[in-house]
Amino acid sequence: MKRSILHMLDPMPHNSPFDINMAVDAGFDVLMPYSNVKLDNVYGLTQDAIFSRGPAGVKRTGIFIGGRDMALAMDMLKSAKDAMVPPFEISVFADPSGAFTTAAALVACVERELFAKHNKKLSDCKALVFGGTGPVGIATGVIASLAGADTVLVDHLSQAIAEDTAKEYNRHFNSQLTGAKASDNVEKIALLEGVDIIFCTAKAGIQVLSTEVLKQGSQLKIAGDVNAVPPAGIEGIKSNDFGAEIAGVEGVFGVGALAVGNIKYRSQQALLASMLTTDKPLYLDFRDAFEKAKKIV
């Protein structure tokens, strides 16, 4: 049997060591990282990969798309798919900055606890995404919005950036995102009015929401945080929490970073492994990551 090869295309100066480790652990024998890859490079690189191994070899060949930009990653995925010439077709998996699998795991975990604790669906709820203009925040917002939640991307500094980001990704994915700014506790408390869910995807090591702010959310039900570096993004959520009541905030339940990370890790691992076992080429993105995460939780 031919050795398996994963070509890892990244528009950034460096490929992610996290993704390289994950691909090895998923069973790929050979990894070939490419950095500074532009969108118009993808078509040619894909055809170089598919025509060099024969019909049997393409089943042992895949492409992974990294980077930090969700829209660019999806465009690169489309370009790779367009380059296929049956029967020379290989699987392609886009997961820029791990944002797709992280966001999918976060939303899936929160969705599970929302139903378990409150018998509610995402489509019944309004959600805020703090850190909503970063890669994980955008992916979280798109996934939650497409699942039916009324979803707001929250930026720390700029209303315009939040609104422009929401509009851009609505155009790309037919989501219904809106944007908002929350620079201080007064603005955060104002945004909490009528909100059921908080997703915190802000920078590591920064506390975004205190328990005093959370207490003002009279309708708040579930909060999920992906920050594993102390202090937590949401005060009172421990990294291993998976549905524990947030200390000091009665009736609000939390999902911590390590709980989310476990589902993210298992989802990414499973999707990478599926590229080696499928009979037909797979084109994997945030939607597949969300479906996989929901099955795992």
**Residue 161 maps to which CATH number?**
3.40.50.720
209 Cβ neighbours under 8 A, 6+ residues apart: 130, 188, 198, 200, 223, 233, 234, 235
180 plus 252 within the same structural domain = yes
Do residue 127 and residue 247 come from a single domain? yes
CA distance 54 to 266: 31
Q: Are residues 250 and 106 in the same domain?
A: yes
Domain ranges, residue 84: 5-94
Look at the pTM and tell me if it is higher than 0.95.
yes
What angle (nearest 5°) sits at the alpha carbon of residue 76, between those of residues 70 and 79?
Answer: 145
Beta bridge partners of 200: 130, 225
The reply to whether 46 and 131 lie within a common domain is: no
Tens digits of pLDDT across the chain (297 residues): 789 999 999 999 999 999 999 999 999 999 999 999 999 999 999 999 999 888 888 899 999 999 999 999 999 999 999 999 999 999 999 999 999 999 999 999 999 999 999 999 999 999 999 999 999 999 999 999 999 999 999 999 999 999 999 999 999 999 999 999 999 999 999 999 999 999 999 988 899 999 999 999 999 999 999 999 999 999 999 999 999 999 999 999 999 999 999 999 999 999 999 999 999 999 999 999 999 999 999
Residue 274 lies in a domain: no
**pLDDT at 183 (0 to 100):** 95
Tell me whether residue 42 is in a domain: yes
**Residues 108 and 62 occupy one common structural domain:** no
**Predicted local distance difference test score (pLDDT) of residue 70:** 95
Provide the 10 A C-beta neighbour count for residue 212: 12
Shared domain check, 245 and 150: yes
Do 105 and 62 lie in one domain? The reply is no
User: Of the candidates 94, 119, 149, which is a domain's last residue?
Assistant: 94
Structure tokens at 78: 């489309």
Q: How many domains does the chain have?
A: 2
Do 89 and 140 lie in one domain? The reply is no
Indicate which CATH number applies to the domain containing 63: 3.40.50.10280
The answer to whether position 275 is within a domain reads no
Specify the DSSP class assigned to residue 88.
B
Cα–Cα distance for residue pair 152/174, rounded to 1 Å: 15
237: Cα separation from own chain's centroid: 20
- Domain assignment present for residue 282? The answer is no
Residues 49 and 23 in one domain: yes
Check if the beta carbon of residue 101 is closer than 8 Å to that of residue 267: yes
| pLDDT at 266 (0 to 100) | 98
Last residue of a domain, one of 51, 70, 94: 94
Please tell me whether residues 106 and 248 are part of one structural domain: yes
Residue 291 lies in a domain: no
pLDDT of amino acid 56: 82
